[in-house]
Amino acid sequence: MMEMITQILSVFIILLAILDPFMAAPPFLAMTRKMKEEEREAVLKEGIIIAGGIMLITLFLGNILLGLFGITIESFQIAGGILMFLLGTQIVLGQEIVKEKEDKDKKTTIALLLGTPLLAGPASITTMILLSQSNGIIPSLAGLILALLVTYLVMLIGNRVVKLMGTNTLQITSRFMGLLLAAFGIEFIKKGLLLIVAQM
């Protein structure tokens, strides 16, 4: 029993570090800066559910799916980096690269981007596969649920803090976070390319 608790805590700590809600919160708040608090919370919940779904699929079928579609982690990393770079550029320039027909579509797009690659990105997927192999399904599942719950709570607190910020402060912060998000995207692309080159 004690061994399983230790495994669960180990998985929880590792996944929380990989999901990194403190890194995901600023760009998420930048993307949703024009939304009301209730709308932002709804998008946050949807994003967490998407991330959880991806991680669950990875936990049970990760290796099989990647092999089935012939997708490497490196390719996934580069694709995620491109999305993050485009999104960061959009926030910095204050322009919409992709215009959704309805507001609902825009919320869904943001939730998808939060779910992946911001939370369930290449590092999270790879880590989930490795943890399931080394700790087993049950400890990995329990640790994942705890990590997602804490991630949600951390980002929910960030959502409440937005109310205390003035409009100008939020706009300036959003542009800066957009720049950081674009930089993260470049890093994702660079790491993916370096991994591909190293395998040649």
Task: Give 17-61 pLDDT, tens digit per residue.
Answer: 888 887 787 778 778 877 888 898 999 999 999 999 999 999 998
Residue by residue, DSSP assigns 20-49 as -HHHHHHHHHHHTTTS-HHHHHHHHHHHHH
Written in H, E and C, the secondary structure of 163-187 is HHCCHHHHHHHHHHHHHHHHHHHHH
pLDDT on residue 95: 65
- For 92-157, give the DSSP string: HHT--SS--SSHHHHHHHHHHHIIIIIIS-HHHHHHHHHHHHHH-HHHHHHHHHHHHHHHHHHHHH
Reference 170, options 24, 44, 31; nearest CA is: 31
How remote is the C-alpha of 64 from its chain's centroid? Answer: 22
Can you give the pTM of this predicted structure?
A: 0.72
Q: What is the pLDDT of residues 167-178, one digit of tens each?
A: 566 667 667 767
Size of the chain, expressed as the number of residues it contains? 200
- Tell me the C-alpha distance between 91 and 148, whole Å: 26
In whole angstroms, give the CA distance from residue 182 to residue 188. 10
Distances (CA, A) of 72 to 76, 99, 126, 193: 6, 30, 10, 12
> pLDDT digits over 64-117, tens only?
877 787 777 777 778 777 877 887 787 777 765 445 445 667 788 889 989 987
- Report domain extents, the chain: 2-199
